[in-house]
Amino acid sequence: MKLSIIIPAYNEEEHLADCLSSFVSQTLLPDELIIADDNSTDDTFLIAQEFSEKYSWIKVYKNNTESLHMPGSKVINNFYFGLSHSEGNYDLLGKFDADLLLPPNYFDEIKNYFQKFPNLGMCAGNVYVQNENLEWVHEKISDKEHIRGPVKLYSAECFKKIGGLKASIGWDTVDELLAKYYGFRTLTIPSLKVKHLRPTGKSYNSKSRKIQGEALYRMRYGFKLAFLSALKMSVNYKDPKILQEYMSGYFKAEKQKQPFLVSEEEGRFIRKFRWKNIRKKLF
């Protein structure tokens, strides 16, 4: 199995060296690792370049884009910039963040699961962050069964079938739901604990959260599911403003009739799947 990894990176000098060190320490090395530097203003490119000079399978490319931060879409556009430099012919494709520490057996273990289950479309470990006591705890932004955006690994067949990644915030929810829609199995491996050095959403502001709300509309969640999703985030972060900001974005998208990310049939599947999981947790 040929393994290709893309890391979209922007101003990641604080954590990139540690992150890449965890990649080069793997018991199973990727066949190629591409760092797509999104026109960073710090030493991200230089750090990545140092690793590329030491390891032939690591490549770094600078994407000369505007510095405007757009959650979701900018990361995915940069991911595709990196993917355009791939040698191709991969069996497994990964989209990883630049602020992670992987356990040394990460790719070795996941490769075994892809070989064990022919219909496995997506697989990853669980993401952990440090709490106030400097203990590594599961990042409660989502359930442990959800394959998180920082650590996505796809089979080539699944990636193609779902139409790749949507250039929108919420892409890492859409892709997993579409994988299930097309009959692929998705799997998280609890024993593979990935350390996330910068918690998700730490830099999110009011504008970002409103865009999150817009994504809930574009994923065809409907009002009730969107409200429950926003409420969950608000409770998790202990911030009542999150609920208001999410729903403000949702209603804006609805009023503007923004284009959906999924078809009507895919939307029906997504809503049915979400409600099924909610009922399972309640009863």
Per-residue pLDDT, 71:
57
Tokens at 117, concatenated:
């289950």
pLDDT tens sequence across 173-199: 999 999 999 999 999 999 999 999 987
Rg (CA), the chain: 18
Q: CA 55 to CA 89: how far, in whole Å?
A: 20
pLDDT tens sequence across 111-149: 999 999 999 999 999 999 998 888 999 887 778 889 999
Q: Say what angle helices 222-236 and 240-256 make with each other, to 10 degrees.
A: 150
Of the candidates 175, 195, 180, 184, the residue with the CA atom closest to the CA atom of residue 106: 195
pLDDT tens sequence across 199-225: 765 555 688 889 889 999 999 999 999
Q: CA 136 to CA 127: how far, in whole Å?
A: 10
The number of angstroms, rounded, from the C-alpha of 70 to the middle of its chain's C-alpha atoms is 15
